[in-house]
Amino acid sequence: MHRFATACRAGSAGALRSLLAPEVVAVSDGGGRVAAALDPIRGADQVARCVTELVGPETVLTVEAVNGEPGVVLRAVGSVVAVMSLKVTGPKVSAVWIVLNPDKLRHWRTGE
């Protein structure tokens, strides 16, 4: 998880790609309130690109518990903008779930 977060912080699609299984799938949830992919994103190149696009110069990433497992929380200007959880199969990430929906991020904003 820490290597994934480090690659995200660096904004390096290549570093991320090296951590992803070739058949990795990313699913994002914008809840119709923020832009998010409507269909699953498939393949290491596309998923790496999707994840690096979420990280801007002002984004702060932290590794925190997400649903009881290590995940990555992205904050910009003091507000949570995304939460990512991963499924790791063997040495590679095989799935990425990205929550962008502000209603589902409310818990992260309030610290409850």
Query: Is 109 a domain residue?
Result: no
112 within some domain: no
What is the number of domains present in the chain?
1
Q: Which residue from 17, 109, 10, 22 is spatially nearest to 59, judged by alpha carbons?
A: 10
Of 75, 72, 56, which is closest to residue 64 (Cα–Cα)? Answer: 72
Give a yes or no: residue 108 inside a domain. no
Whether the per-residue pLDDT at 68 is higher than 90: the answer is: no
State the residue range of the domain holding 73: 2-101
Distance CA 102, CA 112 (A): 15
Res 112 pLDDT > 70: no
15 vs 108, higher pLDDT: 15
Query: Residues of the chain with pLDDT > 70: what percent?
Result: 96
| Global pTM value | 0.90
Whether 72 has a pLDDT exceeding 90, the answer reads yes
Does pLDDT of 45 surpass 60? yes
Asked if residue 107 belongs to a domain, the reply is: no
CATH of the domain at 72: 3.10.450.50
